[in-house]
Amino acid sequence: MKKIISIVLCLAMLMLLCACSGGNSLSAIQKKGKMTVATSPDFPPFESLEGGKIVGIEVDIMDLVAEKLGVETEFVQMDFESVLPGVQAGKFDVGMSGITVTEDRQKNADFTTPYFMASQAIVVLVDSPITCKADLEGKKISVQTGTTAEEYCMANGYEVLAYQANNDASSALTTGKVDAWVVDNEVAVALVAELGGQAKVLDEAMTQEPYAFAFAKGSGELVEAFNSALSELIADGSVEAIFENYGVPYVGP
Ligand code: ARG
């Protein structure tokens, strides 16, 4: 009798533990043979649309990680501001969007160890009088909604115009609605190149920010599996080779 009671108690505790831990599990992903990846593909060279297909550095990294975990990837497209909430709610298995790890975000989501060190850059029109961060005093700045650029610019008292799509934050600059556009450094370089000489990226960086992949809180085992795959891919030079393919210097975390 005692044995039965203790077995039942153990089972109950186990069920409770499973229910409380939340998060998405490695076994669930492996069982369905795929993982859903939430992404905002307006962020070259990390993720962008090419003929309807999502391509970029993070797509290539994710494909290699998926291969190691023995699953397929299914990319689900959305605005950046929906990526983290969707992942946190467990709607998607992983978030991939050049996501910066911040203390605030860590309260609501799990992250892999960072795989890249980025920064925020200032973009201005070629003939702009703004040459450094100090010149931004009292100026209007465009950013993408829900990003660390928005957070940083608001916290530092700039007049901020926020846009859901990164391209609209860029257009705000080229159409003269703002004096500067703040965006992640490598994305600034890629998108300014697309603008064909209209704009330039200033040398002075605003912040230092590590990129990582995001998960619902409590996805410990899945995060661990990602971390070991990532550390192998960093150690054997695969990650660096992917960056090289896109002409981006690899800056390790
Ligand atoms: N690194 C910044 C952040 O985490 C910007 C990311 C924007 N990503 C995107 N795919 N549009 O807030």
pLDDT in tens, 132-187: 999 999 999 999 999 999 999 999 999 999 999 999 999 999 999 999 999 999 99
Beta pairing class for 214-216 and 109-111: antiparallel
What pTM, to 2 d.p., does this model score? 0.91
To test the pocket of ligand 1, the residue of 43, 75, 97, 182 to mutate (highest count of ligand atoms within 8 Å of its CB) is 97
Between the CA of residue 53 and those of 41, 49, 67, 75, what are the distances in Å? 9, 5, 19, 10
Q: At what angle do helices 238-245 and 220-235 cross, to 10 degrees?
A: 70
Structure-token pair, residue 177: 């609605």
Whole-angstrom distance, CA of residue 7 vs CA of residue 46: 50
86-97 burial by CB neighbour count: b if 16+ within 10 A, else e? bbbeeebbbbbb
pLDDT of residue 8: 66
To test the pocket of ligand 1, the residue of 82, 116, 154, 184 to mutate (highest count of ligand atoms within 8 Å of its CB) is 184
pLDDT of residue 14: 58
Whole-angstrom distance, CA of residue 177 vs CA of residue 100: 27
Beta pairing class for 94-95 and 34-39: parallel
Q: Is 225 within 8 Å of 156 (Cβ atoms)?
A: no
Summarize pLDDT for 5-55 with one digit per residue, the tens: 676 676 666 555 544 446 788 999 999 999 999 999 999 999 999 999 999
pLDDT of residue 209: 96
Helix or strand (DSSP H, E) at 196: none
Q: Does ligand 1 come within 6 angstroms of the Cβ of 24?
A: no
> Which atom of ligand 1 lies at the shortest distance from residue 183's CA?
5
> Which atom of ligand 1 lies at the shortest distance from residue 211's CA?
1
